[in-house]
Structure 1
């Protein structure tokens, strides 16, 4: 279980989060929606331990000698890779490369010898998703991860990611402006508005 307790955060004296509490079980797919600039990505980074809150805390089971159990997937994958590393090394940073995951996300083995700038944003995002899964997380924060893909590729990526996370009981916090997507894949949707998280929908997930 992931617990967020009374988190507060301000950026340049502008409050973004105020007494925000949230919990998530492994295997849950929860959506987060809100206007641009309200702090959705900031909240996701706090959950994933990229940013420390000004007040409040995150509680999660974690063995200190293992990767942090919440992995963050960026909207722009080039922000999360070393541009001087080849793709093979980028993947191996998280663990032993899994050929099944490469096939599932249509990653050509030829890419492994390339550098990030030799792949398209969509190709690099697939690499980052596989790297995330190689770290064997308990939870994933997915921040607008398919906005650079066409509709067919978006569907394919989400189907495969949900297949893997369901099999491995991984929870996902899906940050998106796309309410249609959230309605299709999430059991619960929250809106970040006026510094607080508010549940706005519960639905039956459609795989």
Structure 2
């Protein structure tokens, strides 16, 4: 169940190439970091991996084949700002159950309290909302998780709790993770290897 990007290139309309010739192979259970300064296209590359953007050049395959066109997508992505990924008109239990029915063990591991389920998004903190975004992304059919600055805006305790939960689940399921962050110490601690977008 490999996730592979071959010779990926992307640019907007007739603008300069944002990046070109990017090759990445992520194995099940592997944690790969993507490093580089802002503006080099790390988030755009992640969106291509997740199927949200189409590359100008190159291909992305899952287990040697194109992404499935229907059903639950095996590549899930969690962004930096949870409020942008959540429908403000839905209560949290509806948001959480949008894709699948998470089990109690997962909710407990992520520190999601039952009383939060009846609240509106604006009644929760950023850290509490992000826990829901992570839970929603960790469906039983998720094979690779892309964490794009997933915990950057959170306090150190919340960061540690979320990453502990995610890495425990990844080990249990042999789920691959792609980590994008400017926090070098976090990346060095988590990742098996790091891809530098400067090169």
- TM-score of the pair, normalised by structure 2: 0.92
Counterpart in the other structure of 1:10: 11
Deviation at 1:11, TM superposition (A): 2.6
Q: In the alignment, is residue 24 of structure 1 matched against residue 52 of structure 2? A: no
TM-score by length of 1: 0.89
Q: Offset at 1:93?
A: 1.1
Determine if contact 1:98/1:134 at 8 Å carries over to the other structure.
no
- What SS class does the counterpart of residue 5 from structure 1 fall into? strand
Specify the alignment match of 2:54 in structure 1: 52
User: Structure 2: how far apart are the matches of 1:52 and 1:81?
Assistant: 24
| 1:161 and 2:166 aligned | yes
- The equivalent of 2:45 in structure 1 is 43
The residue number in structure 2 matching 1:203 is: none
- Cα offset for 1:119? 1.2
Residue of structure 1 in register with 2:117 after alignment: 112
Q: Quote how far apart the aligned CAs of 1:77 are.
A: 1.0
Matched residue, 1:83:
88
Offset at 1:55? Answer: 1.5
More strand by share: 1
Q: More deviation in 174-183 or 12-21? A: 12-21
Cα offset, 1:130, TM superposition: 0.5
Q: Conserved in 2, the CA contact under 8 Å of 1:67 and 1:135?
A: no
Structure 1 residue runs of 4 or more that deviate by more than 2 Å after TM superposition: 61-66
Counterpart CA distance in 1 for 2:129 and 2:12 is 30
Task: Provide the secondary structure at the position in 1 that maps to 2:164.
Answer: helix
Matched residue of 1:32: which SS?
A: strand
Instruction: Give the aligned length.
Output: 194
Q: Secondary structure at the match of 2:11?
A: strand
RMSD of the alignment, in Å? 1.4
Instruction: Report the Cα distance in structure 2 between the residues aligned to 1:151 and 1:122, rounded to whole angstroms.
Output: 11
Report SS of the residue matched to 1:68.
Answer: coil
Return the alpha-carbon distance in structure 2 between the equivalents of residues 134 and 2 of structure 1: 17
Per-residue CA deviation, residues 135-175 of structure 1 (Å, 9 max, x unaligned), is 53100100111112212221221111100111011000000
Match of 1:127 in 2: 132
Using the TM superposition, give the Cα deviation of residue 118 of structure 1 relative to its aligned residue in structure 2, in angstroms.
1.6
Gaps of 5+ in 1: 199-207
Task: Describe the SS at the equivalent of 1:172.
Answer: strand
Q: CA deviation at 1:65?
A: 4.1
